Structure 1
């Protein structure tokens, strides 16, 4: 009974998160949230990848394996394709977060670059190219599996081939996959957000000095308040991304060194990784006051 209650709770939680992500997409797509077109495009792309991750990883893979054994999703080519889609949606969720951090960096720190090159068209091309490259990168995972059994000439199940753990090509590809996601995003997000926060702090000190606030005068500065919120948002992005992926990265390094997983931390690592990939956009967007107001209004209309 306890196990069934836990699984029912998981299903309910997945459905709620999927609804919330879908609502986030609708709210952002309507605009008027106080965001630039480029930032809105980034957040919509992130929310879409998060929603697809929930549908593919949790519903088509995990819940299907537990509640609906022996259906067409268990045919070897189909479950191999689903596994590829899991990796694609995970990579897109992470790398669209990198593009979001880059967008914030350009908008705040590189005004010349923003005016000349960072347009809606440029961002659309970057998002499309990133998605295509990540899809191409994950195609080899389709050939990772072999049938678990053959029934009436139909291959069933996805069992990892033995050479996956011994073939140097597969080992190298596995390292490349983990370096690309999440090691490189770790470095890029930390670097860009550190530079952005440093720029904001320097400019804020200059503005305080010019306005005489360093001498104890009290003035409300809308620009400085906006920059302060930007610092909070960027620190939230960096901290949440690092914390939610830290266990997974630690377990991967431990397995690479010792050849075994780090006990209970392996399933925990996958769990918090899934949480990161399915709540990115909502977690970032709720720091925006205009978005919160429109989101509450949409929730109220949905309920009533």
Structure 2
């Protein structure tokens, strides 16, 4: 995510992404903070944390990293210190967003499949602790990237842009760090979310059959099944969205890993592999601005509160 895409499609798409992502995440944070969506405290904390990190991803990766360098190439954002700082912010926020999604998936897996652990793990206190640990580790593990950059060139004593030092590609320690970075995000989260949701589906199907046999009917009017259904729909909507929008990135990562061809850094929009690489980057950024739409579809109370928030300015004007 270091070099900005300059094709017309990307030059138009990134501002649209920012125009949608910033207000969408802010509205999501406001609505969830009101606590009127009928969600438990721990679920609410996880969703607010995801929305906040997604908002920071849009600010750092889309506005500062992409739009800033497409439209303001000779601004302070293109100097080496600013470029390095922006890249670090992208790493921090991206990892936090991804691993908070994993943490939320684990929380719902425990709540649905591990009843003996549910009362101890699925609490507001645990949620806050997990969110804090994820955010701290996301920052700490990406700090080494600060030492991997050098200026592309120096003009009148001022360093411009940032590229990886040659040692990043040659020293075994940096090579290992690079592989670990790609495995931790997104390969391992992708596999964990896929595995946990598969296990959750298996448990739900078995539990539903057993409950129907026990009650002697199809579960109509069963309040426990209704509550569980709402939680499951939300979990699966978030997980499925994550998997679909990150699958292209994962496929490209596996292609680079297997073939050893490396990532494209030159801006060649006639190169199909470069187009595929940038498309993968954009799709994983889209995953940071679509949760408000997922919540609106999956949660009736969220949808009702969203309507109130959106209509609030007009209500005040006509009141």
Q: TM-score, normalised by structure 1?
A: 0.89
Q: Is the 8 A contact 1:56 1:82 kept in 2?
A: yes
Q: What displacement does 1:281 show?
A: 5.7
Q: Which residue of 1 aligns with 2:171?
A: 167
Instruction: Give 2:26's match in structure 1, choosing from 15, 22, 25.
Output: 22
Alignment of 1:45-194 (within 5 A): 45-194=49-198
Gaps of 5+ in 1: none
Q: Which residue of 2 aligns with 1:273?
A: 284
Q: Is the 8 A contact 1:94 1:277 kept in 2?
A: no
Alignment of 1:208-219 (within 5 A): 208-213=212-217, 219=220
Q: Which residue of 2 aligns with 1:258?
A: 259
Cα distance in 2 for residues equivalent to 1:176 and 1:9: 31
Cα distance in 2 for residues equivalent to 1:225 and 1:89: 35
Cα distance in 1 for residues equivalent to 2:169 and 2:96: 26
Cα distance in 2 for residues equivalent to 1:102 and 1:5: 37
Q: What displacement does 1:22 show?
A: 0.3
Cα distance in 2 for residues equivalent to 1:124 and 1:285: 24
Segment of structure 1 superposing worse, 159-168 or 179-188: 159-168
Q: Is the 8 A contact 1:24 1:282 kept in 2?
A: no
Cα distance in 2 for residues equivalent to 1:275 and 1:71: 26
Cα distance change of structure 1 residues 156 and 274 upon mapping to structure 2, 3 Å threshold: same
Alignment of 1:282-297 (within 5 A): 282-284=293-295, 286-297=297-308
Cα distance in 2 for residues equivalent to 1:115 and 1:9: 45
Q: TM-score, normalised by structure 2?
A: 0.85
* SS of 1:125 mapped into structure 2: helix
Cα distance in 2 for residues equivalent to 1:5 and 1:303: 35
Gaps of 5+ in 2: 1-6, 264-271
Q: Which residue of 1 aligns with 2:267?
A: none
Q: What displacement does 1:229 show?
A: 3.7
Q: Is the 8 A contact 1:75 1:157 kept in 2?
A: yes
Cα distance in 2 for residues equivalent to 1:92 and 1:6: 25
Cα distance in 1 for residues equivalent to 2:101 and 2:290: 12
* SS of 1:213 mapped into structure 2: coil
Q: Is the 8 A contact 2:105 2:239 kept in 1?
A: no
Cα distance in 1 for residues equivalent to 2:288 and 2:216: 44
Q: Is the 8 A contact 1:200 1:227 kept in 2?
A: no
Q: What displacement does 1:267 show?
A: 1.4
